[in-house]
Amino acid sequence: MLKHIIVISVLLTLASIAGYIVYLEDVRYSLPTPLPADYKDISQNTFITPPSPILATKDKPLFIHFFNPYCPCSRFNLEHFKTLLLQFSNQVDFAVVLQIEKEGAVTKFKKMELNLPYVEDSNGEIASAYGVYSTPQAVILDKTGKLFYRGNYNKSRYCSLKSSEYARFAIEALLREEKLAQLPIYAKIAYGCQLPSENLNQRRNEILDELFLNF
């Protein structure tokens, strides 16, 4: 009898810990990413000098995917990003800005088999050039290299709401040569993992993320 009580107690404890981890993840990523103290906004229609040749526009619009393979939000966003890639790759060029915060990030990214050109951004300088301070984020440039859209993919953390596929709406508007319609505030306020992730709070969050992803 005592043995059964101990086993049940251990299982309940483990279930409580797992539930608490999921709760913390949901709470943390349901809140906007803190705005950096030195943040500089980049206005729509601003020409952005490419920080890398990979990010230079050619004869098509350019979709830049800001991605961190250690960020749960980036992982949840991956399938939706692949659908955009499949649908628009004939009309739009795609590139990835890979947030490199620790060893193994490139290996993790390559295992995802996106087969896209990428540039490493170890200190967040490339992200800053586009006004990006969290992942996942989408940046869409027109053929001339001017900023057409920067923001979230979806209101939903899992990109599951068809009515709020903001990045898709932006691509479609650009291809139709239309002005981008006024989007809800959820398209513009950054959510996800802060860039660059160098402070103590973020390192603590990385541990929580790893527990969550392996749960």
Single-letter code of the amino acid located at 37: A
Does residue 71 belong to any structural domain of this protein?
yes
What is the model's pLDDT at position 3?
58
Residue 139 pLDDT greater than 90, yes or no:
yes
Residue 128 pLDDT greater than 90, yes or no:
yes
| Domain limits for position 194 | 53-198
Q: What is the mean pLDDT of residues 153-161?
A: 73
Does residue 45 belong to any structural domain of this protein?
no
d(CA 185, CA 173): 18
Does residue 33 belong to any structural domain of this protein?
no
Closest by alpha carbon to 106, among 50, 51, 68?
A: 68
- Of residues 196 and 194, more confidence is placed in 194
**Residue 144: both structure tokens together:** 């001339």
What is the model's pLDDT at position 145?
97
Q: CATH number, domain at 107?
A: 3.40.30.10
Give the confidence band of 6 by pLDDT, cuts at 50, 70, 90.
Answer: low
Closest by alpha carbon to 205, among 191, 187, 193, 189?
A: 193
Does residue 207 belong to any structural domain of this protein?
no
Does residue 211 belong to any structural domain of this protein?
no
Lowest mean pLDDT among 64-73, 152-161, 174-183: 152-161
Distances (CA, A) of 126 to 49, 107, 118, 131, 187: 11, 20, 12, 9, 21
Give the confidence band of 23 by pLDDT, cuts at 50, 70, 90.
Answer: very low
Residue 47 pLDDT greater than 60, yes or no:
yes
Does residue 46 belong to any structural domain of this protein?
no
Instruction: Calculate the average pLDDT of the chain.
Output: 80
| Total of domains in the chain | 1
Give the confidence band of 25 by pLDDT, cuts at 50, 70, 90.
Answer: very low
Give the confidence band of 19 by pLDDT, cuts at 50, 70, 90.
Answer: very low
Q: What is the mean pLDDT of residues 78-103?
A: 90
Phi and psi at 150, nearest 5°, equal -140, 125
Does residue 94 belong to any structural domain of this protein?
yes
Does residue 7 belong to any structural domain of this protein?
no
